[in-house]
Amino acid sequence: MPPKPMNLRNLQSNLLRSNRAVIAACLLVSSLHAQISVPMPHRELRGSWIATVHNINWPSQEGLPVAQQQAELKRLIEKAHEQGLNCLIFQVRSACEAIYESQIEPWSCYLSGLMSLPPSPKWDPLTFAIDEAHKHGMELHAWFNPYRALAGDRFAPSANHVRRQHPEWTVKYGRDWWLNPGLPEVRQRVLDVILDVTKRYDVDGIHIDDYFYPYPVNGKDGKPMPFHDEDAFSRYKAGGGTLELTAWRRQNVDDTVRSIYEGIKATKRTVKFGISPFGLWRPNHPEGTGGGLDPYEHMGADSRGWLQKGWVDYLTPQLYWTINRPKLGFGTYFDWWLGENTLGRHIWPGMNTSKVGDDRKAGEILAQISITRSKQLQMAPGHFHWNFAALDKNLGKIGTLSKERAYNIHTILPASPWLSQVALPAPRVERVADGQKLRWFFDDLRWDSVGRWWVVQALIEGKWRTVEVTFRTQHETTWPKGASAVAVRAAGPAWELSEPGVTSGL
């Protein structure tokens, strides 16, 4: 009979007290480890967005056969792994439609060309993307646009789209339709959609982007057009509300952000929540910087507040400017965000890699990566590329140069100790199949439900290096070429690491 599940809090102590095999294995590992010291793996998040809106990255066009859609998505994920990335932000909801099977919102028009039309034969791109990413030891974060209802007018809303079901929830602004954040029903819809995915899919993270209240759009008179939420604001005032318009809007967005964070943690605590806001919080922060846009006032986006209140696990400010740009420099803003990070959450900036060949060279992106690494005494580094096409198409040789110069050492993600600090035991590691393969496992299989990743390190030519990261379901790989010893560590859901299990190549 398999062992009965037990409370995670007591799992470690009970297992180590009751399982002599585990103790014996640990003694064996300790003995070998005393002879071969294994350094900790390097840590750095290396990520990219994969956008589906307007078929920016995937699928290449709407209406493709399912087999071609799958082949394209698989190739992108494999290419990201080969490039050296370890995290992808995959857009699953760009405008109140779904790149996955949903009972709340219709199938995306960017799949078939017709909103609500399911794939035939039926498949779920989000499940596919998660599985493919995990096969390659990569995290997959599901990316949502919280408030955009329709992106342009190319595709008509289906009968089960929010524009048809609840037109009173929507506002036309510029070329797009938007949900009205001032309505409690809208905020609940956003929360329901995100928590539905959190519950049903094995995502590593949930991500929302920079569209809150829309970016200001100028009318024919050259002045910003108003966002017509006055009816909702009037009801708020009539109910005794005391905030002025922009403060009320910030409160609405704050309510959404807080509810998402708390909802995710109540559902699956170790799923990360990240936001990629506009790169600056407010003009003149730091002093002398910024331009005409004030996201805090114009978009209801108190991004510094979300960070300092602990409503995000990582913040990805879109620092899309070059290092030396006056008033809007990459390094200037990165330093500022680090200084505002009072709770020690991750600051992983977004870089506008898609501008390589336009207003910058590949060397600019490499220099920005170096800036994030130069601050690693403050926090483990990380960054995201907007968007994956730049690396995939090798714009200005950025794909080649980043792989050769920036990503020539395999890394794992930084730990998030506020999410999980499980003390995993070292796995047992064996060389099998006449020395051709490496196998590892926990002596007590109950740990399998706690660990999430395996990190394989090899001693090659006298130097330890991380050679592979695998998902928890994999327990075997090819013996690394030229390795004289191999170590395997278990990694928990927040990338906390066990001691290594070590085996010799002799």
The model carries a pTM of 0.93
pLDDT band at 25, cuts 50/70/90?
very low
Domain ranges of the chain: 8-41+418-504, 45-406
Q: What is the mean pLDDT of the chain?
A: 94
> Which residues face 47 on adjacent strands?
87, 384
How is domain 45-406 classified at the CATH fold level? TIM Barrel (3.20.20)
First to last CA, the chain: 36
Is it the case that residue 284 has pLDDT exceeding 70? yes
Identify which has the larger pLDDT, 373 or 5: 373
> Which residues face 315 on adjacent strands?
275, 347
Q: What is the DSSP letter of 224?
A: B
Q: Please say whether the beta carbons of 355 and 323 come within 8 A.
A: no
384 burial via Cβ count (<10 Å: 0-12, 13-18, 19+): buried
State residue 252's pLDDT score.
98
Is it the case that residue 412 has pLDDT exceeding 70? yes
Task: Encode pLDDT of 89-110 as tens digits.
Answer: 999 999 999 999 999 999 999 9
Query: Is 8-41+418-504 a CATH 2.60.40.10 domain?
Result: yes
CA distance 322 to 218: 26
Q: Please say whether the beta carbons of 444 and 19 come within 8 A.
A: yes
* C-alpha neighbours within 13 Å on the C-beta side of residue 19: 19
Task: Encode pLDDT of 145-195 as tens digits.
Answer: 999 999 999 999 999 999 999 999 999 999 999 999 999 999 999 999 999
Identify which has the larger pLDDT, 296 or 24: 296
pLDDT band at 291, cuts 50/70/90?
confident
pLDDT band at 33, cuts 50/70/90?
very low
Token pair listed for 312: 């995000």
> Which residues face 437 on adjacent strands?
432, 478
Is it the case that residue 18 has pLDDT exceeding 50? no
Of 498, 494, 315, 471, residue with least CA distance to 414: 494
Cβ-Cβ contacts under 8 Å for 444 (sequence gap 6 or more)? 3, 15, 19, 21, 22, 425
CA distance 290 to 279: 10
